[in-house]
Structure 1
Amino acid sequence: MSRIKLPDIAVKGEVEAVIGGVAKDLEVYFDNTEEKEVIKSCIERVHQVGGSLRLLEIKGGEVLAEEIENLLKAILSGSSLESQNVSELLVGALLFIPKYFDFAINHKQDIPLLVLSTVNLLRRSYGKGILTEHLFFGFTYDGDIESYPVNKLNTYSDVGFRAKRLRHMFQVGLLGVLQGGAIQTHVKSMYRAIVRLRKITGDVPFARIWDLGAILLEIIGERRLQPDSSIKSLLGAIDRQIKLVCDFGVGIGEKCPSRDIVSALLYYIIKSGVDNEKITTIKELYDINSDLSLYSEAELDEQRVKLNAPDKKVLKRVSEEILEKLAAIKDGLDQLDRIGDIADEEVSFIRDGIINVIATLSLLELNYASEIMKEIDSFVCKRLGQQDPHGEIMSVVADKIVVVEMAVNNYASGFDNGEGELIAESNYNDAKRLVVKEARINLDKIKNTIEGYMDSYMDAEQIADMPLLLDEVKGALFMLDFNKAAEIIAKCSRYVKEGVIYSRIHPKDVDIDTLTDALVGIEWYLESFEQYDRADSGLLDVASESIDELVG
């Protein structure tokens, strides 16, 4: 966090005008992709905005403008892009700049971490790696990592062999942490492995990772820091450093540890807020400023709410109108369900109401609820074109309307009777989180089912319901537009049905482990959405690779 220079009204107005002009020109460009001059002009103006933000010392906006400029340059050069919705991503990121500008001015502070998820979406779209939290914060340890205060090599000649055994212990604990069960028990296993590694490698440069890793694991074990997706990724990186010891053996004494990992370990140790003798020693050894101010996740969430907070007065009235329209739509659909056929004007009333609600939800950026209303419209059209003797179609419609009502009610629940207060917008709507929560509950049931299957010496009855649970998770993921994750779950379901249940072949233990790894990858992916309100598709790579090993 940093204080900013307060701009005059003219500068603020200029930035907003430039951004608005660029957004309009991009719409023209994407309608006619031959107009390269349009992109060149956009690049120049975005660069100008970035310069203004740099002068005002608003780093969050500056970095955002820089990444938008990089993506525009990639488009201009004809580079292959990862994202299929580049136009939406660009315009959304552009319009986020004045919003962040207002936040920085109104709260007189710059918190770049608030734009990290958007920055990483931009970077991923043009093929760049994502920025980790500690790097984005600007925290990089640039001191000596090529030596150690004592630099005394171990006396074990079989370092590589011992490291392989300890890596297995570390990996067992790591898998437990990734799966989310009995965290403290698994962390202790990892801690023991890393302490023993410290002993067999001695005071070599790599000891920095073992020392810092042990402290971080202690902090996690004491529940002072939650192992979110970033920390889990860091623990995975430590595992890969252990592999280097396995590969190089005694030669590890001549190798340097990863500066990025050392920096990340220091960052999270300091961020935890724990203050004891070990950490004091670490701060002195690494010359860390004790006044370094890092936001906790709870504090960041609070700031995100402020950043994403529209005025409540008008929105409260709009929310009430949406609920009234939904009630009228439900009455019309109820009549259709009971009578079986209704007049054309009643049909038009229902369809017009649905379309109106879709447009209003989109305007409020309640995109998840808007997509559900589009599904409702599709179901209603299907019902009008055929009989529904068992009420299956209308039952689905009724369930979906309840979800939309929940979304709108949760949106409106942030309102109170005070004047000028703000509410959190749709990115934090609880309806979408509820679907994610239900999916994770089903994933837990699936993992328990697998354990029961293994404990029963592979009794197929134990997994009879597993395909149904997997299909429910798949349906939830498709509802959330997490299509890649849904496809991975579909492959898991196919493997369980065709490769295990129908074939009546007992799978190998390694195949069950591979299936579990794929499920853990999906769970990790959903966890990233719950924490950051954006799902990191990069987290699906391991899951995809795992299931592809089974089904091809």
Structure 2
Amino acid sequence: MVSGATSLNLVRDELFATMEEAESSLEHFIADRHNGSLLQQAVENLHQVRGTLNLIELAGAELLAQEVLDQATDIPAGAGEERDAQLSALSNALHVLRRYLENVEAHRQEMPELLLPAINDLRQAGGQSALPESFFFSVRLDHARPRTSPPSVDGAARESEARRLRHMYQVGLLGFIREQNPQASLKLMGRALSRLDSLFANEPRGRLCWVGAAAVEAQVDGQLLARKSRKQLFSRIDRELKQLFVNGQYEAPRGLLKELLYLVALADSRGPQATALSEVFGLTPLPFTDHLLEEEYQRLAGPGQAVMRSLSSAIREELNSVKDMLDLIERGTLQSDSLNSLHALLGKLSKTLGMVGLSSAGNSLNAQLQTVASWSEESAPQAQELHKLADAVLYVEGMVASLDRGERREVRPTQAQPGEEADSFALHQLNEARIVVVDEAQAGLALAKRAITAYLESGGERMHLSNVPFSLQAVRGGLWFLGQERAAQLVGACADYIQQHMFDAPHMPSEQMLETLADALSSLEYYLEAGAVMRPETQPSVLDLAAESVRALGMPLEV
């Protein structure tokens, strides 16, 4: 069964309709709090939403839906002002959940970490403890640390040194919490933990200092944000140090170690301590950065796609006006007043684009303002100047189109510097062409699967297969165009099998062979649906699975 982001499309319409009903019922209940039936309707809809998300295995979204359901169930009819914060958190969580699902649908990629702020806002409003940043992060904590040379001090001298180093850590921690030169403060904290690590390296209690020093190094190298949760995390280390000094058998809480290891993985630091720690624990870089998480969460908390579509439609209308003016300028028929209008319109668009997060597009138009201001009826614009402005407008159009569609991150136009808009727009057009090819490839595979089903149900009527080899060869060519040689080879092998063993052969293949062929096509279809053509590294094993099926069909494959 296909699950997760890929299967969201199967339930999208019903799921979003149910969420809309839940949001509407909740909004009406907030206005009329004595109407318990409105709240009950919202709860019933939330039950359905949670069940659907559980079915398609969107774990992060299901967790948020469960939290929303729990909080909504906890609110009584006739709730007073003391429940305002809880109701506000519920409304916000439903908005974030909808935006997250829109994001998953557009990007074909889950990122449940984006939901933690909304989940924790809900939990805080309900008087529960927050979930840690590392909630969705997995790592084995029982890896042994390589032994190091014993400390040069012992006994009372070591205790005295440890207290001094803890004080050093506290000084740095205070600066970090107050954000007074945080980088220097973190380096002081890291120095203290590294020194403490050298004092207790070969003892169980030294594990906290070892992992903590690497986490502080990662915080610095990765330029991680000074979130409240991280200030609390590093403050907790200080409290644990107090216990560590008085208890020779102290072992750090596993949850604390996991949280620190998450920071190391998130930062992908190349520092010596973080690198050594990553090797011991087998940490690999996460598929996102701290700043990407922050940026994407801000997008989730912002307007939904319907609002963005309306906004982008208005921007496109103004861009069309700009293009009409440019056309008149090129014909030499634009009046001086219109030139002033063009300048004002470009300035307005530049500010609007900046407000919706398309700063590079806004900067591209802003860079043209001085040139446009110099134009007049007496001083006609040069052809080169017109071309530069036209390039900027085309670049902005591409950026606005990505805003309108909620486009996948990896196919949005790259942020261009002023003067580089033409190259950026060309790359964007190429990426859009890639998406079209992928869509056509998916359609070709779906056609092949339907035809094979009809062939099987008709007892081997070959007319159902007449267009299949040709369609699959077209898919093969498209994948070659995308640089997906291995996927193309596998599709071609499936096409050859259908031609040789089904269309041209006098007898039907066995049911087992037909199932194997379906396995190969399903694997390739999943490879395309999961967006692996745009991000091949995300699904390396799917093509291996398809290759195994093709070999089982007896078709040769190049190594």
TM-score, normalised by the number of residues in structure 2: 0.51
Amino acid at match of 1:16: F
Report deviation, 1:37.
Answer: 5.2
Q: For 1:315-351, what per-residue CA distance to the aligned partner results, in whole angstroms no more than 9, with x for missing partners?
A: 2676899xxxxxxxxxxxxxxxxxxxxxxxxxxxxxx
What's 1:420 paired with? 401
Amino acid at match of 2:65: A
What's 1:27 paired with? 27
What's 1:144 paired with? 142
Among residues 250, 267, 291, which one is paired with 1:272 in the alignment? 267
What's 1:58 paired with? 58
Q: Does 1:300 align with 2:293?
A: yes
What's 1:112 paired with? 112
RMSD between superposed Cα atoms in Å: 4.1
Report deviation, 1:221.
Answer: 4.7
Once the two structures are aligned, what percentage of the paired residues are identical? Answer: 26
Q: Compared with structure 1, are the counterparts of its residues 223 and 276 closer, same or farther at alpha carbon in structure 2 (3 Å cutoff)?
A: closer
Q: Does 1:175 align with 2:171?
A: no
Q: For 1:349-401, what per-residue CA distance to the aligned partner results, in whole angstroms no more than 9, with x for missing partners?
A: xxxxxxxxxxxxxxxxxxxxxxxxxxxxxxxxxxxxxxxxxxxxxxxxxxxxx
Q: For 1:281-339, what per-residue CA distance to the aligned partner results, in whole angstroms no more than 9, with x for missing partners?
A: 423433x353x534112333554476556465632676899xxxxxxxxxxxxxxxxxx
What's 2:422 paired with? none
CA contact (8 A) 1:313 1:420 kept: no
Q: Compared with structure 1, are the counterparts of its residues 86 and 424 closer, same or farther at alpha carbon in structure 2 (3 Å cutoff)?
A: farther
Q: Aligned partners of 2:124, 2:138: CA distance in 1, in Å?
A: 22
What's 1:397 paired with? none
What's 2:253 paired with? 258
CA contact (8 A) 2:33 2:78 kept: no
- 2:230 is paired with a residue whose SS is helix
Q: Aligned partners of 2:163, 2:216: CA distance in 1, in Å?
A: 20
Amino acid at match of 1:256: E
CA contact (8 A) 1:194 1:210 kept: yes
Q: Compared with structure 1, are the counterparts of its residues 413 and 274 closer, same or farther at alpha carbon in structure 2 (3 Å cutoff)?
A: closer
Q: Does 1:314 align with 2:313?
A: no
Among residues 411, 416, 440, which one is paired with 2:355 in the alignment? 411
CA contact (8 A) 1:82 1:125 kept: no
Q: Compared with structure 1, are the counterparts of its residues 233 and 86 closer, same or farther at alpha carbon in structure 2 (3 Å cutoff)?
A: closer
Q: For 1:18-43, what per-residue CA distance to the aligned partner results, in whole angstroms no more than 9, with x for missing partners?
A: 22222232234334544545544433
**1:351-390 residue pairs with structure 2 within 5 A?**
none
Report deviation, 1:88.
Answer: 3.4
CA contact (8 A) 2:9 2:105 kept: no
Report deviation, 1:172.
Answer: 1.0
Rg larger in structure: 2
Amino acid at match of 2:252: P
CA contact (8 A) 1:312 1:421 kept: no
- 2:403 is paired with a residue whose SS is coil
**1:149-548 residue pairs with structure 2 within 5 A?**
155-157=154-156, 161-222=160-221, 225=224, 227-246=226-245, 249=246, 252-275=247-270, 278-286=273-281, 288-290=282-284, 293-301=286-294, 303-304=296-297, 307=300, 308=302, 310=305, 314-315=310-311, 410-411=354-355, 414=358, 416-418=396-398, 420-422=401-403
Q: Aligned partners of 1:285, 1:95: CA distance in 2, in Å?
A: 41
What's 2:5 paired with? 4
Q: Compared with structure 1, are the counterparts of its residues 197 and 278 closer, same or farther at alpha carbon in structure 2 (3 Å cutoff)?
A: closer
Q: Aligned partners of 2:82, 2:193: CA distance in 1, in Å?
A: 38
Q: Aligned partners of 2:271, 2:184: CA distance in 1, in Å?
A: 23
Amino acid at match of 1:6: S
Structure 2 portions without partners, runs of 5+ = 318-348, 362-395, 407-559
Report deviation, 1:108.
Answer: 0.7
Report deviation, 1:173.
Answer: 1.4
What's 2:100 paired with? 100
Q: For 1:456-482, what per-residue CA distance to the aligned partner results, in whole angstroms no more than 9, with x for missing partners?
A: xxxxxxxxxxxxxxxxxxxxxxxxxxx
Amino acid at match of 1:207: G
Report deviation, 1:255.
Answer: 2.1
CA contact (8 A) 1:59 1:110 kept: no
Amino acid at match of 1:314: S
Q: Compared with structure 1, are the counterparts of its residues 423 and 226 closer, same or farther at alpha carbon in structure 2 (3 Å cutoff)?
A: same
Structure 1 portions without partners, runs of 5+ = 322-404, 426-552
- 2:397 is paired with a residue whose SS is coil
Aligned residues: 333
